[in-house]
């Protein structure tokens, strides 16, 4: 996997290579003739916050759905690991044996592409949230969190028989479950609303509740699909703190996010997708100065366009002030000067979108929010000829 | 019609009190006037066929009766029901505590309801000695539908899976008991009951498997087909089920081995009381009462257990359930199986009560009635099912005995003929007035501080609605 790496320091191996909790290898997902994800490989480090970014339609959510079992990938291997290290031998053994997973003491290897979605959550310890919030709206906040602890509680209730008889062991298990729920309600600042129906909560609180609910499943890896979408700056900031807290408890986080403020601030590792292939992979600094990333987000035709002052201004708006600090001395030479990173070259693609006008970009510099990436595909077709 | 000139009582009473009565009286008079004008042609005239055309006959008594009913009814409503809103500030402090006391009131009403159901046969025997059998029979019928409604409520109300073939499990339960008891001498009602329940649950699993992947309308169609398949098999498998002839001679339930009959070794002679055929009906009533009670207790308990919460979560959002590690296949199957089991229990009770069963009793209309009870009562609500069963089953039965309507609509009016029409009208009115059923709120299963009821607008209805 190391060939796809842009290591900030070639001597030390980054955490996501040395101790990955999840590796995605040669993942391909086709819908009929459309290749949504093509031969994608990346690793998620244990205890890291990993961000998966890219323009709209880049295939991020498809990758998520493959990892969490909602889609069966067309090709590829997705390995989830419990316990430290790459465990290469165990992975190969499980792959060859045709099993779905294998546990050895506190080590465990799970081949997610072979497992159904509910097993991925229950056994492999991968929890997820959804881009469009999916709460149990007619149930209270507390009930939502108890449903998340279903599997443990079912066993404790003696598959309902002990529960119907009202055995004390079940009551104990339930009060433990409520305690855990209360813990996460405190963390997400929802304790006051515990007895309110989830559908009545304001939007930001629903987002937090969905994260709390996912955490109640005790996951090893938490996958968040655009957790900051629709949040105001204060709520985004609270979300950052919550994610830091979750990481501090030893849960790895994989998130899709458009809000660069969130991504750049908290991510240990960023993977950039465009048209279903990886165009950059590394820590925040290396990704934000990567010309391919900038090109993908701004829709510039090629890197020379960065010479144009208006385009540079847009780049600054999109990727933040620090980026230009890096770029300032010799704008283009620096990233290009690096030993050509063996980033998988995007295949020849329809260039229509790519021709998004570089100069007209500044013309519409009324561009939405500074931190919000622009979406070349949506806007490009209308303003042809500006170049 | 003198409407305007009404003398209002005045004097010692306070001003507010006086104006309230005046309002009520004036409103009632206006209503009576309108009713008089409108009903003059509808009720007051009657055309009869006479030689050479039609002859008009006036029905003054019926017309005046209608006007008086409207006047008195409106007056009473104004004074005791609507009246509060007029007197403004004086009643406001009163209404707030009333609203707070309402849940308590509901609880006491439930208890009163329960006690009433408990003593119902004796009430019927004491107060209506001539018609006690009829009353107890209707009560048994209503109770059977309450139990069926509660069973279906697990599948439709909690798990949100629309099942149009619930009667199939009712049939499986009935035929299981009938066949077991007629083929094996030693199997009585109480031995056959759990077996019938298990067989019905087994068929619930058989139905559950193919419908697991289906949603919405497709789920409803497959369950509908399943109900019909069971009935058609019962009708055509002549050697085994007797086909359209059905099965007769199904044994009656015994009270710890004591039969309800004349002579030695019977219930009456054992307890030294004179024999009366009513004993058996009272006993049947208590059997179905007990079975329904068990259904309710088990359902209420399951609802507060993880499995019940998973059912409700499944109704709310199946994809979210899967993302939380809930095996939706098994969860749906348990809902189908447990719902079917209670249907099976009710089926074997039906067989022992009738003594004769045939496929005729298990047509689609039965499924529709049970589903209507659940929907009318409010999906997921236990007490709603009871109210709806009383309205639907008791209502249709009550319409058979509305002799007094002939005083209003003339001697030729037979309410039995209009039974289904009135019934349909009542259902339409109820669904317009309460589109989500009688009881629309959902009570949470667990709470940190207090249980707040959840409004129906937030609760999802599941698949196929």
pLDDT in tens, B28-62: 888 888 888 888 877 777 777 777 777 777 788 88
> Is residue B23 situated within a structural domain?
yes
Contact A138 B312 (CB under 8 A): yes
> Cα–Cα distance between A115 and B123 in angstroms, integer?
61
> Is residue B387 situated within a structural domain?
no
Domain boundary assignment for chain A: 1-125+261-283, 289-382
B325 and B264 part of one domain = yes
> Is residue B229 situated within a structural domain?
yes
Residue B433 has pLDDT above 70, yes or no: yes
B154 and B69 part of one domain = no
Residue B330's domain comprises 128-366
Nearest CA in chain B to A224: B323
> Cα–Cα distance between A275 and B385 in angstroms, integer?
54
HSE toward the beta carbon, residue B455, CA cutoff 13 A:
4
pLDDT of residue A234: 87
At B179, list the tokens. 């066949």
User: Does residue A45 sit in helix, strand or coil?
Assistant: strand
At A321, list the tokens. 């002030």
Residue among A257, A379, A376 at smallest CA distance from A305 = A376
Which residues lie below 8 Å from residue B190, measured CB to CB, with a gap of 6+? B253
- Asked if A167 has any chain B CB less than 8 Å from its own CB, the reply is no
Contact A197 B454 (CB under 8 A): yes
Across A321-346, average pLDDT: 45
Across A52-66, average pLDDT: 86
Residue among A158, A134, A145 at smallest CA distance from B307 = A158
Cβ-nearest to A118 among B313, B328, B454: B328
B142 and B71 part of one domain = no
Contact A135 B452 (CB under 8 A): no
User: For residue B450, which residues of chain A lie inside 8 Å, CB to CB?
Assistant: 195
Question: Is pLDDT larger for residue B46 or for residue A132?
Answer: A132
pLDDT of residue A386: 37
- Asked if B131 has any chain A CB less than 8 Å from its own CB, the reply is no
Percentage of residues in chain B having pLDDT higher than 70: 85
Among the three residues B320, B348, B366, which one is the final residue of a domain in this structure? B366
Residue B13 has pLDDT above 80, yes or no: no
> Is residue B321 situated within a structural domain?
yes
Listed range (A116-125, A299-308, B251-260) with the worst mean pLDDT: A299-308
Residue B251 has pLDDT above 50, yes or no: yes
User: For residue B442, which residues of chain A lie inside 8 Å, CB to CB?
Assistant: 138
Cβ-nearest to B458 among A143, A151, A197: A197
B173 and B47 part of one domain = no
Cβ-nearest to A134 among B307, B315, B317: B317
B215 and B154 part of one domain = yes
Q: Which of B201, B296, B305 to substitute to test the interface with A, most A CBs within 10 Å?
A: B305
Residue among A115, A129, A21 at smallest CA distance from A72 = A115
Grade residue B344 by pLDDT with cuts at 50, 70 and 90.
very high
Among the three residues B315, B342, B366, which one is the final residue of a domain in this structure? B366
B223 and B299 part of one domain = yes
pLDDT of residue A372: 40
Burial (0-12, 13-18, 19+ Cβ within 10 Å), A97: exposed
Nearest CA in chain B to A154: B306
pLDDT of residue A200: 87
Q: Which range, A361-365, B236-240, B435-439, has the best average confidence (pLDDT)?
A: B236-240
Residue B73 has pLDDT above 50, yes or no: yes
Grade residue B17 by pLDDT with cuts at 50, 70 and 90.
low
pLDDT digits (tens, 9 = 90+) for A93-105: 778 787 787 787 7
Residue B16 has pLDDT above 90, yes or no: no
Among the three residues B366, B400, B417, which one is the final residue of a domain in this structure? B366
Contact B324 A146 (CB under 8 A): no
Tell me the ipTM for this assembly: 0.72
Contact B306 A157 (CB under 8 A): yes
> Is residue B449 situated within a structural domain?
no
How many domains is chain B built from? Answer: 2
Q: Which of A66, A147, A220 to substitute to test the interface with B, most B CBs within 10 Å?
A: A147
Diameter over CA atoms, chain A: 76
Percentage of residues in chain B having pLDDT higher than 90: 12
Angle CA A37–A113–A134, to nearest 5: 75
> Cα–Cα distance between A231 and A245 in angstroms, integer?
19
pLDDT of residue B160: 85
Q: Which phi-psi region, left, alpha or beta, contains residue B281 (left: φ > 0; alpha: ψ -120 to 50)?
A: alpha
- Asked if B459 has any chain A CB less than 8 Å from its own CB, the reply is yes
> Is residue B371 situated within a structural domain?
no
> Cα–Cα distance between A349 and B311 in angstroms, integer?
47
Which residues lie below 8 Å from residue A360, measured CB to CB, with a gap of 6+? A383, A386, A387
> Is residue B399 situated within a structural domain?
no
B204 and B65 part of one domain = no
Structural contact between residues B58 and B39, judged by C-beta atoms closer than 8 angstroms: no
Topology of domain A1-125+261-283 in CATH is Rossmann fold (3.40.50)
pLDDT of residue B402: 65
Structural contact between residues A275 and A36, judged by C-beta atoms closer than 8 angstroms: no
> Cα–Cα distance between A34 and B115 in angstroms, integer?
67
User: For residue A196, which residues of chain B lie inside 8 Å, CB to CB?
Assistant: 452
Contact B325 A157 (CB under 8 A): no
Residues facing A107 on adjacent strands: A104
Listed range (A64-68, A193-197, B35-39, B106-110) with the worst mean pLDDT: B106-110
- Asked if B2 has any chain A CB less than 8 Å from its own CB, the reply is no
Sheet holding A101-104, edge to edge: A34-45, A20-31, A75-82, A107-111, A101-104
Across B2-29, average pLDDT: 61
B55 and B191 part of one domain = no
Q: Which range, A318-322, B251-255, B258-262, has the best average confidence (pLDDT)?
A: B251-255
User: For residue B315, which residues of chain A lie inside 8 Å, CB to CB?
Assistant: 138
Chain A 312-331, residues with CB within 8 Å of chain B CB atoms: none
pLDDT of residue A308: 56
Q: Which helix (H) or strand (E) holds B348?
A: helix B328-354
Give the sign of the dihedral formed by CA A308, CA A314, CA A317, CA A320.
Answer: negative
B37 and B133 part of one domain = no
> Cα–Cα distance between A118 and A101 in angstroms, integer?
14
Residue A122 has pLDDT above 50, yes or no: yes
> Is residue B411 situated within a structural domain?
no
Residue B384 has pLDDT above 80, yes or no: yes
- Asked if B211 has any chain A CB less than 8 Å from its own CB, the reply is no
B210 and B351 part of one domain = yes
> Cα–Cα distance between A100 and B192 in angstroms, integer?
44
B228 and B292 part of one domain = yes
Residue B416 has pLDDT above 90, yes or no: no
Residue B426 has pLDDT above 60, yes or no: yes
Across A107-123, average pLDDT: 85
Structural contact between residues A44 and A268, judged by C-beta atoms closer than 8 angstroms: no
Taking residue B366's Cβ as centre, other Cβ atoms within 10 Å add up to: 19
Question: Is pLDDT larger for residue B313 or for residue B104?
Answer: B313
pLDDT of residue B103: 56
Residue B2 has pLDDT above 60, yes or no: no
Taking residue A62's Cβ as centre, other Cβ atoms within 10 Å add up to: 21
B56 and B136 part of one domain = no
- Placement of tokens 């991925």 in the chain: A120
Across A172-183, average pLDDT: 88
């Amino acid at each position: 996997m190391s060939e796809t790496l842009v290591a900030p320091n070639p001597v030390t191996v980054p955490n996501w290579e040395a101790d990955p909790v999840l590796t995605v290898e040669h993942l391909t997902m086709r819908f009929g003739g459309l290749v949504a994800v093509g031969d994608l490989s990346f690793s998620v480090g244990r205890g890291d916050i990993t961000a998966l970014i890219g323009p709209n339609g880049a295939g991020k959510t498809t990758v998520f759905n493959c990892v969490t079992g909602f889609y069966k990938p067309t090709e590829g291997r997705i390995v989830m690991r419990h316990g430290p290290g790459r465990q290469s031998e165990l992975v190969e053994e499980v792959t060859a044996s045709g099993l779905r997973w294998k546990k050895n003491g506190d080590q465990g290897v799970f081949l997610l592409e072979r497992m159904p979605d509910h097993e991925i959550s229950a056994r492999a310890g991968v929890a997820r949230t959804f881009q469009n919030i999916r709460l149990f709206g007619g149930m209270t906040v507390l009930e939502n969190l108890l449903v998340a602890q279903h599997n443990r509680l079912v066993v404790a209730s003696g598959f309902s028989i002990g529960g119907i008889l009202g055995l004390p062991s079940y009551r104990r298990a339930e009060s433990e479950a409520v305690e855990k729920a209360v813990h996460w309600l405190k963390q997400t600042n929802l304790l006051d609303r515990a007895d309110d129906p989830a559908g009545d909560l304001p939007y930001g609180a629903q987002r937090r509740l969905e994260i709390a609910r996912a955490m109640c499943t005790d996951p090893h890896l938490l996958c968040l699909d655009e957790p900051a979408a629709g949040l105001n700056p204060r709520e985004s900031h609270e979300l950052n703190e919550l994610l830091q807290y979750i990481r501090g408890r030893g849960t790895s986080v994989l998130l899709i996010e458009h809000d660069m403020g969130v991504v750049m601030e908290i991510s240990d590792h960023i993977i950039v997708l465009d048209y279903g292939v990886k165009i950059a992979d590394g820590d925040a600094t290396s990704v934000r100065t990567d010309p391919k990333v900038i090109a993908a987000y701004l829709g510039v035709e090629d890197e020379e366009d960065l010479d144009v002052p208006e385009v540079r201004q847009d780049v600054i708006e999109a990727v933040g002030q620090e980026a230009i600090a890096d770029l300032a001395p010799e704008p283009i030479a620096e990233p290009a000067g690096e030993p050509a990173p063996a980033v998988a070259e995007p295949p020849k693609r329809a260039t229509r979108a790519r021709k998004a006008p570089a100069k007209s970009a500044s013309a519409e510099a009324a561009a939405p929010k500074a931190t919000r990436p622009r979406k070349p595909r949506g806007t490009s077709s209308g303003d042809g000829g500006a170049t | 019609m003198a409407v305007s000139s009404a003398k209002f009582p005045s004097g010692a009473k306070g001003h507010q009190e006086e104006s309230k009565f005046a309002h009520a009286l004036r409103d009632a008079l206006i209503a009576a006037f309108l009713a008089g004008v409108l009903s003059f042609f509808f009720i007051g005239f009657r055309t009869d066929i006479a030689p050479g055309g039609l002859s008009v006959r006036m029905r003054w008594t019926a017309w005046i009766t209608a006007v008086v009913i409207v006047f008195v009814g409106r007056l009473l409503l104004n004074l005791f029901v609507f009246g509060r809103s007029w007197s403004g500030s004086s009643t406001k402090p009163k209404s707030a505590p009333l609203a707070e006391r309402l849940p308590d009131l509901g609880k006491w009403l439930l208890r009163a309801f329960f006690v009433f159901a408990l003593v119902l046969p004796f009430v019927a025997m004491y107060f209506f000695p001539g018609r006690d059998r009829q009353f107890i029979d209707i009560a048994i019928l209503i109770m059977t539908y309450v139990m069926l409604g509660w069973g279906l409520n697990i599948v439709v109300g909690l798990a949100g899976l629309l099942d149009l073939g619930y009667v199939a499990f009712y049939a499986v339960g009935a035929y299981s008991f009938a066949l077991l008891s007629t083929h094996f001498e030693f199997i009585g009602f109480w031995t056959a009951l759990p077996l019938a329940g298990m067989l019905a649950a087994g068929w619930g699993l058989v139905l559950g498997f193919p419908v697991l992947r289906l949603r919405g309308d497709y789920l409803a169609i497959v369950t509908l087909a399943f109900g019909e398949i069971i009935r058609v098999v019962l009708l055509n498998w002549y050697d085994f089920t007797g086909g359209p002839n059905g099965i007769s001679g199904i044994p009656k339930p015994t009270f710890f081995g004591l039969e309800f009959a004349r002579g030695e070794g019977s219930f009456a002679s054992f307890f030294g009381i004179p024999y009366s055929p009513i004993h058996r009906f009272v006993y049947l009533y208590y059997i179905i009462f007990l079975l329904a009670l068990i259904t309710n207790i088990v359902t209420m308990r399951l609802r507060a257990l993880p499995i019940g919460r998973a059912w409700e979560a499944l109704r709310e959002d199946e994809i979210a359930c899967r993302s939380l590690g809930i095996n939706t296949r098994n969860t749906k199957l348990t809902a189908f199986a447990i719902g079917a089991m209670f249907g099976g229990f009710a089926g074997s009770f039906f067989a022992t009560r009738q003594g004769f069963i045939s496929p005729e009793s298990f047509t689609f209309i039965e499924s529709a009635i049970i589903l209507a009870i659940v929907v009318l009562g409010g999906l997921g609500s236990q007490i709603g099912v009871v109210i709806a069963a009383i309205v639907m089953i008791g209502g249709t039965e009550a319409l058979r005995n509305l002799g007094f309507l002939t005083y209003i609509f003339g001697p030729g009016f037979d309410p039995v003929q209009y039974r289904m029409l009135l019934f349909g009208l009542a259902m339409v009115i109820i669904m317009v007035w309460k589109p989500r059923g009688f009881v629309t709120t959902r009570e949470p299963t667990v709470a940190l501080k207090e249980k707040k009821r959840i409004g129906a607008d937030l609760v999802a209805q599941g698949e196929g609605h």
